[in-house]
Amino acid sequence: MQVDPSARPAPLRDVECLRPTATTESAGCACFSLAGYGDAARGRAGELRIALFVLDRAGTPRPVNETADAPHTHGV
């Protein structure tokens, strides 16, 4: 799991840092951001099946991609 507290959309590099975990069969990955994700980051996360979430002001996660919205990832 990775949490990006910055005010800018998470870039591709942030998603790529999760690649070793994402390619492990026994682990799921999730990334949380306050400001969303750049287009390249969203695309790569989809390829790697990394669940992307945006946190609202109350800290409630909202799924951004299909992987995050899939029922099996809600326990990530």
Alpha helices in 1-76 (DSSP H): 12-16, 19-22, 39-48, 66-69
Residue ranges of domains in the chain: 2-70
Q: Which of 19, 76, 34, 24 is nearest to 51 (CA)?
A: 76
Q: Which residues lie below 8 Å from residue 27, measured CB to CB, with a gap of 6+? A: 21
Q: What is the pLDDT of residue 15?
A: 79
Q: What is the pLDDT of residue 45?
A: 92
Q: What is the pLDDT of residue 4?
A: 60
Q: What is the pLDDT of residue 54?
A: 93
Quote the pTM value: 0.74
pLDDT in tens, 18-75: 777 667 766 678 889 988 999 999 999 999 889 999 998 898 999 999 999 976 544 4
Question: Does residue 5 or residue 15 have the better pLDDT?
Answer: 15
Rounded Cα distance between 63 and 58, Å, is: 15
Rounded Cα distance between 45 and 18, Å, is: 9
